Amino acid sequence: MSTRVGVLGATGAVGQRLIQLLVPHQEFEIAALTASSSSAGKTYRDAAKWRVNTPIPDDIADLTVVETDPGAVQNDVDLLFSSLPSDIGAAVEPEFVEDGYVVSSNSSNGRMDEDIPLTIPEINADHLGLLEVQRDERGWDGALLKNPNCSTITMVPTLAALDEFGLERVDVSTLQAVSGAGYSGVTSMEILDNVIPHIGGEEKKMETESRKLLGDFDGAEVNLHDADVSASCNRVPTLDGHLENVWADLEADPSVEAVAESFESYPGVDLPSSPEQLIEVFEEPDRPQPRMDRMLGDGMAVSAGGIESTTHGVQYNCLAHNTMRGAAGASVLNGELLLEEGFL
């Protein structure tokens, strides 16, 4: 029997990608779509300006969009996927959870709250134990789980693999695709023939979220990883796929071959959306590249290449599809983890 799910903020870029991933899903069935009050009451076909590269499924197109309010969503929905803007998410996600809904959220609000799990299932599935702390402290009947920022998700699997060598410091410079800003986030006049060397708030997200993801959960709280993380984030004129240049200082002095092996052998998880190979490694010095490699593992794999030894550790490039692995796919994967661990 399928788990009935809903999408909060269903008309936006990530909401549309969520629908694309959920429609063929074997364990989830879309039962509710929400959006702003101006879209409520319309069919999804009329409410959404569909921009995903597959047609709107007919049964989804004919669903009536409801307002993003707990009273408007039927109570037989087991799981909600949130792709709301962070200010709206901060206001309404707690209301849904107080009403007993379980929410897997891509929205940035609350990611660093001490009692809200921030998870990548392949990296820190044990942090899901924070949900019991969350329920005890907040008195919520439901639960709220977050996935990280798209640029954070791209590099953290590689950092988790490197931690066996004693991860001490990380410097990262990103080349982030325009889809990460949403449909109206960057105009063509801004980005064509240009690179924008600043993305508001992005550096702080990478610098803090990565330490929480790599931290240890002791049953009561997450202790942040000790590594220092410094990020420089840049918007570039690619459509999808965040490419990142990483320098990692390590306690040990591994060979390039040992680093590549640590990436390739890092384990995945047995969930429907998790790729068979979490980190794909290229020997070619000019890979990975967004256009060529963003869809590895159906858009859910991370790829790495250009590995070189440095005075203090290693440098390399890594890439992931920012709206698949980095956003909608990450939320779906967390939803699968919630189902697997009995929270639904």
- Given the residues 127, 225, 242, 321, select the one marked as catalytic: 242
pLDDT band per the 50, 70, 90 thresholds, residue 105: very high
For 78-130, the DSSP string reads: -EEEE---HHHHHHHHHHHHHTT-EEEE--STTTT-TTS-B--HHHHGGGGGH
Give the model confidence (pLDDT) of 282-326 as tens digits: 999 999 999 999 999 999 999 999 999 999 999 999 999 999 999
52-56, 155-159, 167-171, 221-225: lowest mean pLDDT where?
Answer: 52-56
Asked if 89 and 82 touch (Cβ cutoff 8 Å), the reply is: yes
Contacts of 331 (CB under 8 A, 6+ apart): 14, 18, 81, 82, 83, 104, 105, 106, 147
Give the model confidence (pLDDT) of 142-167 as tens digits: 999 999 999 999 999 999 999 999 99
For 129-168, the DSSP string reads: GHHHHHHHHH--SSEEEE---HHHHHHHHHHHHHGGG-EE
What SS3 state is found at 18? helix
What does the buried/exposed string (b/e) look like for 119-155 if buried means 16 or more CB atoms within 10 Å of the residue's CB? bbbbbbbebbbbbebbbeebebebbbbbbbbbbbbbb
How large a percentage of the chain has pLDDT more than 70?
100
Using the predicted structure, report yes or no on whether residue 181 has a pLDDT greater than 90.
Answer: no
Using the predicted structure, report yes or no on whether residue 38 has a pLDDT greater than 80.
Answer: yes
Q: Which of 315, 317, 308 lies closest to 288 in space, CA to CA?
A: 317
What backbone phi and psi angles, to 5 degrees, belong to 65?
A: -75, 135
Q: How far apart are CA 103 and CA 177, in angstroms?
A: 27
Q: Which of 336, 339, 335 lies closest to 8 in space, CA to CA?
A: 335
Asked if 194 and 186 touch (Cβ cutoff 8 Å), the reply is: no
What pLDDT score was predicted for residue 10?
A: 96
What pLDDT score was predicted for residue 190?
A: 93
Asked if 228 and 170 touch (Cβ cutoff 8 Å), the reply is: yes
Residue type, 118: L
What pLDDT score was predicted for residue 7?
A: 98
Contacts of 17 (CB under 8 A, 6+ apart): 52, 323, 324, 327, 328, 329
What SS3 state is found at 3? strand
Annotated catalytic, 242? Answer: yes
pLDDT band per the 50, 70, 90 thresholds, residue 118: very high
Asked if 164 and 262 touch (Cβ cutoff 8 Å), the reply is: yes
Structure token digits, residue 244: 């990142």
Q: Which of 278, 335, 17 lies closest to 154 in space, CA to CA?
A: 278
Average pLDDT, the chain: 96
Using the predicted structure, report yes or no on whether residue 113 has a pLDDT greater than 80.
Answer: yes
Using the predicted structure, report yes or no on whether residue 29 has a pLDDT greater than 90.
Answer: yes
For residue 125, what are the CA distances in angstroms to 44, 146, 215? 34, 12, 12
pTM here is 0.96
Q: What is the mean pLDDT of residues 47-64?
A: 92
What pLDDT score was predicted for residue 182?
A: 81
Beta bridge partners of 175: 234, 243
Q: How far apart are CA 48 and CA 33, in angstroms?
A: 11
Contacts of 292 (CB under 8 A, 6+ apart): none
- Given the residues 150, 233, 318, 321, select the one marked as catalytic: 150
What domains are there in the chain, each with its CATH number? 3-148+327-340 (3.40.50.720), 150-321 (3.30.360.10)
What pLDDT score was predicted for residue 186?
A: 87
Using the predicted structure, report yes or no on whether residue 274 has a pLDDT greater than 90.
Answer: yes
54-58, 180-184, 328-332: lowest mean pLDDT where?
Answer: 180-184
Asked if 104 and 81 touch (Cβ cutoff 8 Å), the reply is: yes
pLDDT band per the 50, 70, 90 thresholds, residue 57: confident
Annotated catalytic, 127? Answer: no
What pLDDT score was predicted for residue 58?
A: 87
Q: How far apart are CA 113 and CA 187, in angstroms?
A: 33
What pLDDT score was predicted for residue 184?
A: 74
